[in-house]
Amino acid sequence: MVKICCIGAGYVGGPTMAVIALKCPSIEVAVVDISVTRIAAWNSDQLPIYEPGLEDVVKQCRGRNLFFSTDVEKHVSEADIIFVSVNTPTKTRGLGAGKAADLTYWESAARMIADVSKSDKIVVEKSTVPVKTAEAIEKILTHNSKGINYQILSNPEFLAEGTAIEDLFNPDRVLIGGRETPEGRNAVQALKEVYANWVPEDRIITANLWSAELSKLAANAFLAQRISSVNAISALCEATGANVAEVAFAVGKDTRIGPKFLNASVGFGGSCFQKDILNLVYICECNGLPEVANYWKQVIKINDYQKSRFVNRVVSSMFNTVAGKKIAVLGFAFKKDTGDTRETPAIDVCKGLLGDKAKISIYDPQVTEDQIQRDLAMNKFDWDHPLHLQPMSPTAVKEVSVTWDAYDATKGAHGICILTEWDEFRKLDYAKIYENMQKPAFVFDGRNVVDPEKLREIGFIVYSIGKPLDP
């Protein structure tokens, strides 16, 4: 029986391994993590992450051929194939701070693999890593253990949170990069055979190691660039009376462009887009390509601009101050169908409003109060994002309350900011909400989920990203 071990039981490691276990009953899959609480949650009825369809998959194979454990060394030493899916955040200090990927977790995982391995291993990069990381990992492994053959593969994960299970069941492609040696090719073949259990052959593509590593960074940069492009156009729409939804529809009808990822919004978030572009920027700079670095930097700058533009719009519409006014924030997760708040635009928007002394009442169906308070109290590293510079005082965080439904959050509020496109926000009884708000009652729709005309009929003053303003 082939044994797989995955180091890192997070948003990627957990769902990815659950799907491999489901689709490959003859493979034993162990997902290991240093976090005792995370592993305990994976072994309970309250999984540590919310992802549609995940619970069902885990229930089908947990205890059969899927195991979650903190015994990292045991499972790594027994495995034939080791996926490494640890976090690779942006470095916060030292060389490359604010841009380069922090590979500390990766390096310690690699050193541990070298320490405990007694047989040949295939080590798979599942985390998103800078191009050439495999070379560094090879050095760590081969210099720390003798007589063991390690083959490093790059197999970046392209799943999107909120649709992870669907994406894993039916991926656009599975990319595997390996060394162009006989051993490298055998390792690629072994991993291909795992995916071939459910992924059609023509969707499993192979590449050299560096192409595979770089493809993941490039894919995220392209996706984020589309969002920043449409968001940049949304600003122009507001200035001219054009409607970004109509512009995006017309642009997306061009088959060379396509309709996906053209929704204007308050900005992109999530743990990956910003960090991966920063990483790309850093790699370009290190390779003597400052113009290319500057090109990609603009994608983040527009994203920051979009968030601050939104905050400014809220404040200026509400007679140039939100001091002492209650603002209801609907949605805190960085997108719908996830409870993940990493890099969510809601953090910057709330901080911006609190900076103008607003009182904020937040409702999100999947985000806990602890998470929100932690996110708002955290000071992020800044390289040149004006919004991230604002430190949060403990008093400001006290101006935030978290509620269990949208009606409670909006009661007595002067304005509503919709920051996540949860389906339930489309179906709210806005007439009832209007009745219970201060007047004039404002709605600032950062995700274009409501019909502005219908809300105007009720009496709201409505701002929707990129759409003609309230007359």
Catalytic residues: 272
Tell me the closest approach of the beta carbon of residue 105 to ligand NAD, in angstroms: 4
DSSP, collapsed to helix, strand or coil, labels residue 123 as: strand
User: Taking CB positions, which residue lies at the least distance from ligand NAD?
Assistant: 10
Q: Letter for the amino acid at 82?
A: I
What are the tokens at 363? Answer: 């409702």
Residues 342 and 349: beta-carbon distance below 8 Å? no
Closer to ligand NAD by CB, 107 or 356: give it: 107
Provide the Cα torsion 401, 403, 408, 412; round to 10°: 10
Closer to ligand NAD by CB, 20 or 400: give it: 20
Closer to ligand NAD by CB, 28 or 343: give it: 343
- Rounded alpha-carbon distances, angstroms, from residue 88 to 212, 287, 449: 17, 21, 33
Closer to ligand NAD by CB, 175 or 237: give it: 175
Residues at the site binding ligand NAD, with contacts judged by CB under 6 A? 7-13, 32-35, 38, 72, 85-88, 105, 108-109, 127-128, 157, 159, 161, 271-272
Residues 376 and 399: beta-carbon distance below 8 Å? no
Q: How many CB atoms lie within 10 A of CB 261?
A: 16
Tell me the closest approach of the beta carbon of residue 28 to ligand NAD, in angstroms: 18
Chain mean position to CA 49? 13
Closer to ligand NAD by CB, 105 or 198: give it: 105
Taken in order 57, 61, 66, 68, the sign of the CA dihedral is positive
Tell me the closest approach of the beta carbon of residue 114 to ligand NAD, in angstroms: 13
Give the span between the Cα atoms of 282 and 186, in whole angstroms.
33
- Rounded alpha-carbon distances, angstroms, from residue 124 to 119, 121, 187, 233, 242: 16, 9, 10, 40, 48
